[in-house]
């Protein structure tokens, strides 16, 4: 939503926009690849989980996927805060510009004939 708004206003930073998109895609692909290539959970692991190398591999890959997911959520939060902050300051600057135009319009003697007298 913020990408579309900034694109329509021609105020988006192309580097930050693509950094956000590409980092999100690569993190999701990493998580999907980890869960695709890890061995499935075996019911026998509950009897001897420490001795099974497959369990250790599964646990390591699962922890890595969880870390990547946390990183993904952190990046989404960071870019959302950046976008909302940028949107806030754009609106604030636009209001200031409109107030200045309104003031200049009211003080124009050609527009406001009462100010002559």
- Enter the pTM of the model: 0.66
* Whole-number pLDDT of residue 49: 58
User: Which whole number is the average pLDDT over 31-37?
Assistant: 87
Distance CA(115)–CA(103), nearest Å, equals 13
Count Cβ neighbours within 10 Å for each residue of 46-77 and write b for 16 or more, e otherwise: eeeeeebeebeebeebeeebeebeeebeeeee
The domain segmentation of the chain, as residue ranges, is 2-108
* Whole-number pLDDT of residue 69: 94
HSE, side-chain direction, 13 A CA sphere, residue 95? 6
- Residue 48 has what DSSP assignment? S
pLDDT of 5 > 70? The answer is no
User: Which whole number is the average pLDDT over 19-26?
Assistant: 90
* Whole-number pLDDT of residue 66: 93
């Amino acid at each position: 939503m913020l990408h579309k708004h900034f694109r329509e206003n021609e105020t988006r930073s192309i580097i930050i926009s693509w950094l956000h998109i590409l980092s999100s895609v690569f993190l999701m692909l990493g998580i999907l690849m980890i869960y695709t290539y890890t061995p499935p959970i075996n019911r026998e692991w509950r009897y001897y989980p420490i001795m099974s190398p497959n369990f250790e591999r599964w646990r390591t890959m699962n922890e890595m996927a969880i870390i990547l997911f946390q990183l993904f959520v952190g990046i989404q939060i960071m870019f959302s805060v950046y976008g909302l902050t940028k949107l806030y300051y754009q609106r604030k600057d636009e209001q200031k510009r409109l107030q200045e135009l309104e003031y200049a319009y009211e003080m124009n003697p050609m527009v406001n004939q009462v100010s002559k007298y």
